């Protein structure tokens, strides 16, 4: 990793909302292409980018829809740019097909979803966390994806840099699953100096054109990128393909490519997964949460602790890939696992699956539109402690 | 300072959100507190009753929304009607007395009025109403430091408008200070019409 | 094609094709190969460094072009070749970006992208192979199928109005618009050459035979019969009045170059506006922004 281009870095202490901080994080990470379509509550990300891009040689285009946005992002990534788009529920749905193209072509890029309440138009201006399974499985076919979730504007900045770095390292679109509450929450955000922001540079092939296979993976199962416009005369396709990038329509080729796309994430899960644990050792109850919910959980946890309940917390900073092993380990040592999320049970299903009957599991559900009442969380914690 | 919940409310276009932003910025950037601001979006933010929420705290803010604001700043009648009922019992209600008519008592909350619209007109720009209110807020609550508020204003307004905005801030601040000097501390009596502090129309009309 | 390859040791187009992918999937008498030939001829004559040319295709028979031409080539999703190409061009303005796809891909599912890229005058060349049908999926009706023509989803004849593609492209803002048939080899080649050198959004419709589906369902005979029909029924009329060049079932096909004008591209517009606002502080976005 190398220090980032200072042109994109607004070093200092700022009072920014999560959307603006997200845009600053992207620019600090070296993002210089943005293709997007306006949608509440994510539009401020694009607005911030448009204000600042001209002075750092970035290029913004407001596309005609989210399908176009996703494709423009992929095209720009293949042209050599660190690129991104930003959307919310309905637009995220429209991006799904071509998110799959990004996965299949192994294109580094970042897609931000500032989650609002759904389904359909739902609650454009109010928070939700109900696109989490869509993030995991939204495009057709089998694949693995990376998704991070911030719980403050500061983290919105910090994690965007991680998003770009992970996308370069694993050649996969990285999803930044914010929620409206964090997106529209203004807090102090400290942006470090450029030399303290390390970025992953694009790793291009070292092979000459006549020896180059665009999809020959390295030991990490990730192929280096092929540069466009440099005489490689390469081909990439959304069809099932071989190492040459040529379509091969049979089960063998399918087995090879799909397994690698999945394994490159699963085998590197330890490098990708970021968790924040507190008082997990010796806990009877461990409560999981992510995004804004992870803040609302704390007053409930403190109250339960004051009642003598041993509660540990785990915050999923990386939601996908899911920390399966760690959850299994914890499940073997606690009475209960509790999931707090703004939906009626999505990431809960993964927690429950990984617990595998080793402990009880509880969900504190919420349909979105607001955050949980800490009292509701407290009540479930007390129930879980029984 | 424990957690203090503040709501700034008024009409779309009055600079309600900017007021909340400046107060939060003053606390979080130019002072040493934690501040979290959230705001209403959508049609609500563009017309009629518009509001934003600021939470100030010595510790990190966890629950992001306000529930019973201790401080309510009101710049329109509609916002008053909508938000006054949620004010905490021992809270402080700050109104533009040219625009808001008090029509009820709010527990043991105290009300302070300032003819901010008139002051803004005297300064030649009605648009600085919100900055006058910030000055008033600073004087009456003491929750943000004067210097921090001044700095936050300077960093948040368009270039070339510094002088005007600083005058507006000063006007609100001094009016508030005078009010306090006249012995109007945060007492229940402050909202009574007979008190000298209650110069504004709204206060006169209060019960 | 394969016969020629046997007769000589090397296919004359070997340099331009991925010979390791031959034979291709196109039917005999399909017109897509002709478009490929004309394109590579035009590119050869253009003097443009082929290493800077990128081909983007969508899905369908024509979408497979990206897989056979030996250039940097991207086979994307259905309808999305133009937005992908837009990203590619903006990401690296040094690239010459060419979209080659079919009528269903570019005009139905991708129709919105076509008109917006034209409106923006995005500096790309779009070659639309129009065979009047969705061939890859078995001959369904499409946005260019002439009224009354049969297709697998119009078993009683088409009752919709087709798009007039040159008119659509021109009215959306394309700076270069032409229409040819697969019979007009020299003119098509020349036209592609002009389009490649045109700064801005250039659009060429190529009417091509699909004997397997379109011709069979409409009892129009063999591929040769269709070429004969093009010979007898096409009329060259440069700068024709675009509202008068609709293609009706088995009637006259007006071909020619209809639009050739200058207008600032998306990047030109961006640079001009930013210079106005920021003056010398603004560094122009352009070819030097091509990374990697």
What are the tens digits of pLDDT across the range C36-67?
999 999 999 999 999 999 999 999 999 999 99
Q: What is the mean pLDDT of residues A186-207?
A: 98
Q: Is B28 on the interface with A (CB under 8 A)?
A: yes
Nearest to A236 by CA among C77, C254, C34, B52: C77
In a domain, A238, yes or no: no
- Spatial contact of C221 and C214, defined as CB atoms under 8 Å apart: no
Q: Does domain C16-289 have CATH number 3.40.50.970?
A: yes
φ, ψ at A141 (rounded to 5°): 90, 175
How far is Cα C219 from Cα C139, in angstroms, rounded to an integer? 13
Across chain A, mean pLDDT equals 98
Interface test with C, best of A71, A73, A213, A227 (most C CBs within 10 A): A71
Q: Centre a 10 Å sphere on the Cβ of residue A248 and count the other Cβ atoms it contains.
A: 15
Contact B36 A187 (CB under 8 A): yes
Provide CB contacts within 8 A for C132, sequence distance 6+: C103, C142, C144, C145, C146, C149, C162, C207, C210, C214
To 5 degrees, how large is the angle CA A302–CA A304–CA A306? 70
Contact A124 B64 (CB under 8 A): no
Boundary (domain end) residue, out of A151, A167, A199? A199
What strand order describes the sheet that includes B92-96?
Answer: A12-17, A186-191, B34-39, B49-57, B4-11, B71-74, B92-96, B110-114
Q: Of all residues in chain A, what percent carry a pLDDT higher than 90?
A: 100
Q: Show which of residues 150-179 on chain B sit within 8 Å of chain A, judged by CB atoms.
A: 152
Q: Using CB atoms, pick whichever of A57, A73, A238 lies closest to residue C285.
A: A57
Give the DSSP H/E element, type plus range, for residue B51.
Answer: strand B49-57
Same domain, A151 and A45: yes
Contact A298 B62 (CB under 8 A): yes
Residues facing C54 on adjacent strands? C72, C97
DSSP C247-290: PPTTS-EEEEEEEE-----HHHHHHHHHHHHHGGGSPPPSGGG-
Q: Using CB atoms, pick whichever of B29, B40, B44 lies closest to residue A15.
A: B29
Contact C113 A204 (CB under 8 A): no
- Spatial contact of A310 and A285, defined as CB atoms under 8 Å apart: yes
Same domain, A166 and A288: no
Nearest to C139 by CA among C214, C69, C89, C63: C214
Domain span holding position A367: 275-385
Tens digits of per-residue pLDDT, C237-267?
999 999 999 999 999 999 999 999 999 999 9
Same domain, A195 and A92: yes
Residue A345's pLDDT is: 98
Contact B64 A299 (CB under 8 A): no
To 5 degrees, how large is the angle CA C80–CA C81–CA C83? 70
Q: Which residues in chain C are contacts of A234 at CB distance < 8 A?
A: 72-73
In a domain, A230, yes or no: no
Contact C75 A79 (CB under 8 A): no
Give the DSSP H/E element, type plus range, for residue C180.
Answer: strand C176-181
Tens digits of per-residue pLDDT, C107-124?
999 999 999 999 999 999
Contact A41 B38 (CB under 8 A): no
How far is Cα C59 from Cα A4, in angstroms, rounded to an integer? 38
Q: What is the CATH number of the domain that holds A93?
A: 3.40.50.970
In a domain, A17, yes or no: yes
Q: Using CB atoms, pick whichever of B39, B40, B42 lies closest to residue A124.
A: B42
Chain C: residue whose CA lies nearest to A77: C91
Tens digits of per-residue pLDDT, A143-152?
999 999 999 9
Task: Measure in Å the smallest separation between the Cα of C253 and chain A Cα atoms.
Answer: 32
Task: Measure in Å the smallest separation between the Cα of B6 and chain A Cα atoms.
Answer: 14
Provide CB contacts within 8 A for B2, sequence distance 6+: B57, B58
ipTM over 0.90: yes
Domain count for chain A:
2
Contact A371 B42 (CB under 8 A): no
Q: Using CB atoms, pick whichever of A70, A81, A229 lies closest to residue C72.
A: A229
In a domain, A245, yes or no: no
Same domain, A49 and A143: yes
Nearest to C85 by CA among C249, C6, C198, C202: C202
φ, ψ at B41 (rounded to 5°): -115, 175
Chain A: residue whose CA lies nearest to B41: A125
Boundary (domain end) residue, out of A181, A199, A217? A199
- Spatial contact of B162 and B151, defined as CB atoms under 8 Å apart: no
Q: What is the CATH number of the domain that holds A367?
A: 3.40.50.920
Contact C18 A238 (CB under 8 A): no
Question: 3-state secondary structure string, chain A?
Answer: CEECCHHHCCCEEEEEEHHHHHHHHHHHCCCCEEEECCCCCCHHHHHHHHHHHHHHCCEEEECCCHHHHHHHHHHHHHCCCCEEEEECHHHHHHHHHHHHHHHHHCCCEEEEEEEEECCCCCEEEEECCCCHHHHHHCCCCCCCCEEECCCCHHHHHHHHHHHHHHHHHHCCEEEEEEEHHHHCCEEEEEECCHHHCEECCCCECCCCHHHCCCCCCCCCCCCCECCCCCCCCCEEECCCECCCCCECCCHHHHHHHHHHHHHHHHCCHHHHCCEEEECCCCCCEEEEECCCHHHHHHHHHHHHHHCCCCEEEEEECEEECCCHHHHHHHHCCCCEEEEECCCCCCHHHHHHHHHCCCCEEEEECCCCCCCCCHHHHHHHHHHHHC
For every one of its 292 residues, what pLDDT tens digit does chain C have, with 9 covering 90 and above? 445 545 667 888 899 999 999 999 999 999 999 999 999 999 999 999 999 999 999 999 999 999 999 999 999 999 999 999 999 999 999 999 999 999 999 999 999 999 999 999 999 999 999 999 999 999 999 999 999 999 999 999 999 999 999 999 999 999 999 999 999 999 999 999 999 999 999 999 999 999 999 999 999 999 999 999 999 999 999 999 999 999 999 999 999 999 999 999 999 999 999 999 999 999 999 877 765 4
* Chains C and B touching, counted as 3 or more CB pairs less than 8 Å apart: no
Contact A237 C67 (CB under 8 A): yes
Q: Show which of residues 66-125 on chain C sit within 8 Å of chain A, judged by CB atoms.
A: 66-67, 70-77, 79-80, 82-92, 94-95, 112-113, 116
Same domain, A296 and A192: no
Contact A33 C91 (CB under 8 A): yes
Provide CB contacts within 8 A for A106, sequence distance 6+: A171, A172, A215, A222, A223, A261
Q: Which residues in chain C are contacts of A236 at CB distance < 8 A?
A: 73-75
Q: Which residues in chain A are contacts of B17 at CB distance < 8 A?
A: none
> Could you give the domains of chain B?
4-205 (3.40.920.10)
Contact A125 B41 (CB under 8 A): yes
Residue B200's pLDDT is: 35
In a domain, A262, yes or no: no
Q: Using CB atoms, pick whichever of C71, C74, C84 lies closest to residue A233.
A: C71
Length of chain A equals: 386
Boundary (domain end) residue, out of A199, A216, A241? A199
Contact B38 A181 (CB under 8 A): yes
Q: Which residues in chain B are contacts of A296 at CB distance < 8 A?
A: 62-64
Contact C54 A35 (CB under 8 A): no
Contact A79 C88 (CB under 8 A): yes
Tens digits of per-residue pLDDT, B93-140?
999 999 999 987 777 889 999 999 999 999 999 999 999 999 999 999
pLDDT of B48 over the 60 cut? yes
Same domain, A129 and A7: yes
Q: Show which of residues 177-206 on chain A sit within 8 Å of chain B, judged by CB atoms.
A: 181, 184-188
Q: What is the mean pLDDT of residues A241-264?
A: 98
Contact A186 B21 (CB under 8 A): yes
pLDDT of B22 over the 50 cut? yes
* Range from A99-108, B38-47, C4-13 that averages highest in pLDDT: A99-108
Interface test with C, best of A50, A206, A229, A246 (most C CBs within 10 A): A229
Neighbours of chain C (3+ CB pairs under 8 A): A
Q: Which residues in chain A are contacts of C113 at CB distance < 8 A?
A: 64, 68
In a domain, A269, yes or no: no
Q: Where are the domains of chain C?
A: 16-289
In a domain, A247, yes or no: no
Residue B39's pLDDT is: 84
φ, ψ at C3 (rounded to 5°): -65, -40
Provide CB contacts within 8 A for B121, sequence distance 6+: none
CA distances from B13 to A241, A377, B152, B188, C22 (A): 56, 38, 20, 32, 66
To 5 degrees, how large is the angle CA A148–CA A154–CA A160? 40
Nearest to C83 by CA among C133, C52, C48, C118: C118
Same domain, A83 and A177: yes
Q: What is the mean pLDDT of residues A150-173?
A: 98
Q: Using CB atoms, pick whichever of C79, C90, C283 lies closest to residue A33.
A: C90
CA distances from C100 to A64, C36, C66, C105 (A): 20, 9, 8, 10
How far is Cα C18 from Cα A235, in angstroms, rounded to an integer? 10
Task: Measure in Å the smallest separation between the Cα of A302 and chain B Cα atoms.
Answer: 12
Q: Which residues in chain C are contacts of A204 at CB distance < 8 A?
A: 292
Residue C3's pLDDT is: 54
In a domain, A224, yes or no: no
Q: Show which of residues 224-283 on chain C sit within 8 Å of chain A, judged by CB atoms.
A: 266, 270, 274, 277-278, 281-283
CA distances from C40 to A214, A251, A252, C53 (A): 24, 34, 34, 11
Q: What is the mean pLDDT of residues B77-92?
A: 93
């Amino acid at each position: 990793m190398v220090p980032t281009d200072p042109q994109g870095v607004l070093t200092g202490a700022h009072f920014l909302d999560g959307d603006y901080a997200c845009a600053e994080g992207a620019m600090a990470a070296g993002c210089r292409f943005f293709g997007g379509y306006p949608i509440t509550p994510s539009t401020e990300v694009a607005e911030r980018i448009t204000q600042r891009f001209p002075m750092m040689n970035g290029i913004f285009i407001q596309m005609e829809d989210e399908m176009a946005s996703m494709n423009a992002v992929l095209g720009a990534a293949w042209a050599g740019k660190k690129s991104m788009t930003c959307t919310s529920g309905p637009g995220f749905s429209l991006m799904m097909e071509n998110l799959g193209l990004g996965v299949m072509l192994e294109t580094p890029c970042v897609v931000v979803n500032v989650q609002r309440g759904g389904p359909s138009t739902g609650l454009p201006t109010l928070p939700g966390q109900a696109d989490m399974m869509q993030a995991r499985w939204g495009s057709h076919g089998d694949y693995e994806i990376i998704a991070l979730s911030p719980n403050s504007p500061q983290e919105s900045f910090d994690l965007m840099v991680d998003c770009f770095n992970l996308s370069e390292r694993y050649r996969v679109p990285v999803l930044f699953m914010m929620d409206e509450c964090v997106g529209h929450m203004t807090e102090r955000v400290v942006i470090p100096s450029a030399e303290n922001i390390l970025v992953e540079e694009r790793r291009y092939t070292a092979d000459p054109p006549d020896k180059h296979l665009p999809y020959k993976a390295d030991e990490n199962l990730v192929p280096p990128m092929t540069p466009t416009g440099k005489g490689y005369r390469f081909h990439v396709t959304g069809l099932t393909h071989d190492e040459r990038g040529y379509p091969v329509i049979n089960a063998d080729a399918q087995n090879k490519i799909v397994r690698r796309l999945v394994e490159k994430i699963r085998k590197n899960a330890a490098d990708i997964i970021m968790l924040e644990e507190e008082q997990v050792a010796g806990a009877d109850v461990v409560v999981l949460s992510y995004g804004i919910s992870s803040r609302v959980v704390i007053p409930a946890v403190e109250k339960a602790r004051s009642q003598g309940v041993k509660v540990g917390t785990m915050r999923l900073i990386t939601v996908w890939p899911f920390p399966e092993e760690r959850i299994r380990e914890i499940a073997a040592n606690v009475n209960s696992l509790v999931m707090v999320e703004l939906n009626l049970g999505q990431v809960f299903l993964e927690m429950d699956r990984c617990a595998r009957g080793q402990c009880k599991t509880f969900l504190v559900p919420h349909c979105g539109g607001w955050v949980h009442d800490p009292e509701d969380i407290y009540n479930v914690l007390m129930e879980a402690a029984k | 300072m424990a957690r203090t919940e503040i709501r700034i409310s008024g009409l779309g276009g009055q600079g309600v959100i900017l007021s909340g932003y400046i107060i939060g910025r003053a606390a979080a950037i130019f002072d040493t507190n934690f501040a979290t601001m959230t705001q209403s979006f959508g049609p609500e933010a563009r017309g009629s009753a518009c509001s934003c929420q600021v939470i100030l705290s010595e510790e990190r803010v966890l629950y992001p929304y306000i529930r019973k604001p201790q401080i309510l700043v009101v710049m329109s009648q509609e916002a008053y009607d909508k938000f006054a009922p949620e004010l905490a019992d021992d809270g402080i209600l700050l109104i533009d007395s040219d625009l808001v008519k008090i029509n009820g008592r709010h527990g043991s909350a105290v009300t302070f009025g300032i003819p901010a619209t008139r002051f803004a007109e005297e300064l030649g720009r009605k648009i600085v109403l919100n900055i006058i209110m910030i000055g008033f807020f600073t004087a009456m609550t003491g929750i943000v430091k004067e210097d921090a508020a001044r700095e936050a204003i300077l960093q948040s307004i368009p270039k070339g408008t510094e002088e005007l905005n600083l005058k507006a801030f000063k006007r609100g601040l001094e009016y508030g200070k005078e009010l306090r000097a006249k012995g109007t501390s945060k007492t229940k009596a402050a909202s009574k019409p007979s008190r000298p502090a209650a110069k504004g129309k709204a206060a006169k009309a209060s019960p | 094609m394969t016969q020629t390859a046997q007769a000589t040791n090397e296919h004359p187009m070997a340099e331009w094709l991925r010979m390791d992918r031959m034979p291709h999937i196109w039917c005999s008498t399909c017109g897509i190969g002709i478009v490929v030939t004309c394109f590579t001829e035009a590119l050869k004559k253009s003097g443009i460094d082929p290493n800077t040319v990128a081909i983007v295709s969508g899905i369908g028979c024509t979408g497979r072009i990206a897989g056979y031409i030996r250039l940097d080539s991207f086979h994307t999703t259905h309808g999305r070749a133009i937005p992908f190409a837009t990203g590619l061009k903006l990401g690296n303005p040094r690239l010459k970006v060419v979209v080659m796809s079919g009528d269903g891909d570019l005009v139905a599912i991708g129709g919105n992208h076509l008109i917006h890229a034209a409106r923006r005058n995005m500096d790309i060349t779009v070659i639309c192979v129009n065979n009047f049908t969705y061939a890859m999926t078995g001959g369904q009706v499409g946005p260019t199928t002439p009224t009354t023509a049969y297709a697998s989803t119009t078993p009683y004849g088409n009752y919709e109005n087709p798009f007039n593609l040159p008119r659509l492209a021109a009215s959306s803002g394309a700076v270069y618009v032409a229409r040819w048939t697969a019979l007009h080899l020299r003119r098509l080649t020349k036209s592609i050459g002009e389009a490649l050198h045109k700064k801005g959004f250039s659009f060429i419709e190529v009417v091509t035979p699909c004997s397997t589906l379109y011709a069979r369902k409409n009892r129009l005979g063999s591929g040769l019969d269709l070429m004969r029909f093009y010979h007898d029924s096409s009329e060259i009329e440069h700068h024709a009045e675009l509202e008068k060049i609709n293609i009706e079932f088995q009637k006259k096909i007006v071909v020619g170059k209809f639009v050739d004008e200058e207008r600032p591209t998306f990047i030109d517009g961006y640079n001009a506006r930013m210079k106005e606002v920021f003056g010398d502080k603004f560094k122009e976005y352009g070819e030097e922004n091509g990374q990697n």
